[in-house]
Amino acid sequence: MSVFVDAGTKLVVQGITGRDGSFHARQMMEYGTHVVAGVTPGKGGQRFEDTVPVFNTVADAIQETGANTSVIYVPARFAADAMYEAADAGMELIVCVTEGVPVLEMTKVIPYLRERGTRLIGPNCPGAISPGRSKVGIIPGDICREGHIGVVSRSGTLTYEIIHQLSRRGFGQTSCIGIGGDPIIGTNFIDCLAAFEADSDTKAIVMIGEIGGTDEQNAAQYVTDHVTKPVVGFIAGQTAPPGRRMGHAGAIISGSSGTAAEKMAAFDKAGIAVMKRPADVVPLLEERI
């Protein structure tokens, strides 16, 4: 089984004729993702790679292909409109890879999508992959292996590092979800933990957080209350100098609530095995599975 994306994913690429959209559309197609359509306003009627029809609107793409998932590679100034359009068309899942989407825009987008029953992953995220089934976004498919570990991460690059550590030691994944590092995102740690807990094929969960905010503490409490499977966690930014803004816009520390030490303490209290470095993930899993 898998979480959020699977063999039944029928994907629309919004921005498929642009530089990033075309590059990653090819990568997803080569991986085996069922890319059924692209959307670029004004370029309807074209074909991408001679096989994928391009439409002017998401509504047209859904009507003609039955698409259920969209991935967005449009510039930040157009990303909110792209999300609105996909939700209005009835899209079930949107993955927004675009970074730099204004926070004020996202305060409006999130409730709009929720009212329409559309799940959003991102923005500013690497997307999702269910190894051997479907890849939506930019996670490298060649480092992933089919297996029984669920991965959820706020950090894109560390997602790849953890997946690589798992795969090379024989720990394949059911699904890997990069939720994004912005202050306001569509799908959070708790959403993914709940999905992995409900997935019978997922035997353990790896959660990768970072300094800033309180999402990791909230997730730790959720693990205490609702998760029965082993969870291994990592917090990026453990050596960040005090008062220094690091990386993602979400990595903003308020008082002591967003520090690595506070988050790691919350993990430990919840029974989450805490990695000191990414290479610790496999030994900690081996102790618990």
| CA distance between the termini of the chain | 19
The Cα 163–Cα 79 span in angstroms is 28
Q: Check: CB of residue 257 under 8 Å from CB of residue 217.
A: yes
Place of tokens 């939506």: 136
| Catalytic annotation, pick one of 24, 34, 226, 248 | 248
Q: How many CA atoms lie within 13 A of 209 on its CB side?
A: 34
Is 164 annotated in the active site? Answer: no
Residue type, 51: T
Two tokens, residue 79: 């990303």
Two tokens, residue 284: 């900690």
Q: List 157's β-bridge partners, or say none.
A: none
Closest CA to 128 of 42, 33, 205: 33
Task: State the catalytic residues.
Answer: 248
